Amino acid sequence: MAAPIPVLAALLVAGAGWAGLARAEAGGSPATSDPPAGDANPPIATPSPDASPQKVDEARSTAAAAELTPILPSPQNPLRPAFQLYAEIDLPVMGIGLAFASARLVKSQPVYCAPLCDPSGLNALDRTTAGYWSPAWQQASNYALLALGLGAGALLVIDEGLWPGLNDSVVIAESALSGIAIASMMTLAAGRPRPFVYGEKAPLSERNSGNAGLSFLSSHAVASFAIVTSTFVAMRRLHPGSKAAWVVLGAGGALAAFVASARVMGGQHFITDSLGGAIVGASVGMLVASLHGSPVTILPVVAAAGQRGMALSARF
């Protein structure tokens, strides 16, 4: 599962690169604005009447030091983007995720039963695919995953515009990378032989490689379902009440299912590897996206009798 990691790394590097430019361009005057991170007067508890100005300034300095630094695109549309990024949270998460996801690339020791494993120890379901090997299906899974990731990013950019779309694409890539990191740790811990080691169709060099012991979980399945789920969350926020999010979920889910199935047909993973990857990917995609709040909050306002309105609270 080496193919998706460079692609996600490129997305994350690109995201980090435009983040500073996007922050520099940020501007605008939302209807109601919280004090921005690093503001000279960050919010603190109401000082007592006899509090000295020096103590108040110290409290504000402490509050300012604790503030997170938002990574924001130009807020030309206050309802975009769908996710709020913070430098102190998202950059470390992406760095850790990239390092963990790359762990499988350095494994070199062969699987314990190489070059040919006995399928009698497999469960009945996985035994049906023991010995599978197909480079064509493997390539199909790589291209489908690449199309899924690029398609999600293109959809958000077309829907929101360049900077908001790139902002939200970073969260999509972060969910996929986080899922791959989790899958990599599970894969290295399990050390399960890939299906092609249970037959002789694959080249001997493949069956004796470190890659032959990285079956459980399927990182392709994890990344695919994480991308679909996090994109679904983004579309629901951007178009509440619309069927667009469900169309994205249906079409993307079908493509993700193809990726997971192609990994089985290619002999890279057992059925249970792909099923487990789908569950982990969907869960991580929902979790990572949900942990990123929206930059804006719209609240109903009750004014005088018979009057109603909406308040827009934005973090810029």
Percent of the chain with pLDDT over 90: 60
- Flag the least confident range among 54-68, 93-107, 111-125, 277-291: 54-68
Return the pLDDT at 75: 57
Stated as kind and residue range, the H or E segment containing 87 is helix 87-101
Return the pLDDT at 16: 44
Contact 111, 212 (CB under 8 A): yes
The arithmetic mean of pLDDT across residues 40-67, rounded, is 77
In the predicted model, is pLDDT for residue 122 greater than 70? yes
| Residue 224: count of CB within 10 angstroms of its CB | 34
Count of residues in the chain? 316
Model confidence at 305, in pLDDT bands (50, 70, 90)? low
In the predicted model, is pLDDT for residue 14 greater than 80? no
pLDDT, tens only, 130-176 = 999 999 999 999 999 999 999 999 999 999 999 899 999 999 999 99
pTM recorded for the entire structure: 0.78
Return the pLDDT at 22: 41
Which is nearest to 159 in space by CA: 250, 237, 241, 71?
237
Return the pLDDT at 248: 97
CA distance 95 to 221: 21
Q: What is the C-alpha radius of gyration for the chain, rounded to an integer number of angstroms? A: 24
pLDDT, tens only, 257-274 = 999 999 999 999 999 999
Distance of CA 206 to the CA centre of its chain: 30
